[in-house]
Amino acid sequence: MDIKQATTDLEQFRTSLYQNFENRADTLMDLLDAMCSMPEAKSVVEYSLSSLFRRSYSTLFKGIAEIEFEEMWLPHRLAPYLPRPQAWPFWLLMVDVTPAPRLYAHTLADRSMVYQPEVVKGKLPVTIGHQYSAALLGLEVEEGMSSSWVLPLLNQRVSTKQDKELVGGAQITALLRDKQLPFGEEFTVEVADSSYSKPAYLCSHRQFPNLVSIVRARSTRVFYRQYEATEEEKASPKAGHPTWYGERFALADSTTWGEPDDLLILSETSRRGKVYQVEVQAWHNLLMHGKNKPVRLPMHEHPFTLVRIVRYDEDGKPAFKHPLWLIVMGKRRHELSLLHIHQAYASRFDEEHFFRFGKQKLLMVDFQTPEVQHEEHWWQLVHIAYAQLWMTRHLADVLPNPWERYLPAMKKRLTSPTLVQRDFERIIRQLGTPAQPPRPRVISPGRRKGTKLPKRPRQKVVVKSQIAAQTG
């Protein structure tokens, strides 16, 4: 990309951010620059030590507390810079949730048990805190860029009264309905993990003719073929309810599968140089049962393609214990080749890189506050900071540490979010900032002497199973 054009785009993007901050715009711009230039920070207050943050540490927290966002704030700022897909004939959207552990925040409201993967075998994969749903744009790999880039669009905390899948569904719906964004009018694919394969989520997006959903299915699921009436039944149809579902298709029982309708075999090489043979099979026009509560979901009206992906090692043995099953649903699903389906779902794992980077380098889960709203504001700021790093990617120099220069990615000089963060301060010092420098003011007298603040009430951890039992 032309450096001059990349510089212009970054300046325009930063000006748009600054102009649309309604409160404490100068503080927030300085804070964003500090976040993007301090990968070594261990706590949020340390950002006040950055040379790009020209204010006192107390203004940092005031800026976070007073910021205001509307739902589509960040997507509208990014809309002019969305890279159109070139290798893919579709836009790629991703949705997932990630935990925000707050085990010891006893005065923080609406905490509950949330899923958190554990690396220690034998431990329960749960923690106490909040969880956040994120909708992201999957990106094609650019020349000279790492494959780990994604573009965050929407972020929302999932309350204890909400279903995380339906929250994610509402985020995708908002992106598809927005006329300033291309996703609703053009061919778009969404990818998600197995928790989003429930009928309520899949059915919620079927009013969009240009959307195809690719979601993982658990290996214990049972689907059905479409019922095909015999010649006798066609000649003399019986009265009563029509038959929708035919023979069972149990993922755990290979005797129910039959021959696949499509087959693709390809070779892949991992980052460590291992060669795998990938077998992709597809069965068309399968059905799943809908749910009756809270409303009847007509899943018989939405046939889908079922895809099975198995990766074999050099010895011809399966590389993983279980195959990967994918549900491909949407009116335009037949326009996707098996290779496109495989590539689209493989790109879903880039969102895990985003969450890891956000938590390790942008302190996504390290803002300690008793106010739920302030925590939500911080998560929005982290997403904006990552978007700013993405806008800066073409201007950054690759600056590996001495012990990193022999790594494969460093030898190829691929620009990653971490490398952009290392060089961000130099770029901003050359580019400048729209934020105004602080103006000296009289020191505030503070609270009246003798004022005693009441203790914050301690909040109970919400147990969702107890809520369900009470409402059921």
Report pLDDT digits (tens) over 82-110.
999 999 999 999 999 999 999 999 999 99
Which pLDDT score, from 0 to 100, does residue 183 have?
96
pTM attached to this predicted model: 0.93
Going by pLDDT thresholds of 50, 70 and 90, the confidence category of residue 466 is low
> Which residues are CB-neighbours of 395 under 8 A, at least 6 positions away?
3, 6, 7, 10, 427
* DSSP state, residue 415: B
Question: pLDDT at residue 379 above 80?
Answer: yes
Which pLDDT score, from 0 to 100, does residue 229 have?
73
Going by pLDDT thresholds of 50, 70 and 90, the confidence category of residue 1 is low
pLDDT tens digits, 191-238? 999 999 999 999 989 999 999 999 999 999 999 999 887 767 666 777
Q: Are 119 and 108 in contact (CB under 8 A)?
A: no
H helix count then E strand count, the chain? 13, 12
C-alpha to C-alpha distance for 76 and 23, rounded to whole angstroms: 19
Which pLDDT score, from 0 to 100, does residue 469 have?
54
C-alpha to C-alpha distance for 55 and 58, rounded to whole angstroms: 8
Which pLDDT score, from 0 to 100, does residue 226 have?
92
pLDDT tens digits, 326-352? 999 999 999 999 999 999 999 999 999
> Any idea what the Cα angle at residue 7 is, between residues 154 and 146, rounded to 5°?
60
C-alpha to C-alpha distance for 331 and 315, rounded to whole angstroms: 39
Question: pLDDT at residue 380 above 90?
Answer: yes
Question: pLDDT at residue 472 above 60?
Answer: no
Query: Alpha-carbon torsion 162, 168, 173, 174, what sign?
Result: positive
Question: pLDDT at residue 405 above 60?
Answer: yes
| % of the chain exceeding 70 in pLDDT | 96
Which pLDDT score, from 0 to 100, does residue 470 have?
58
Which pLDDT score, from 0 to 100, does residue 196 have?
96
C-alpha to C-alpha distance for 217 and 325, rounded to whole angstroms: 5
Which pLDDT score, from 0 to 100, does residue 468 have?
57
Averaged pLDDT for residues 439-448:
80
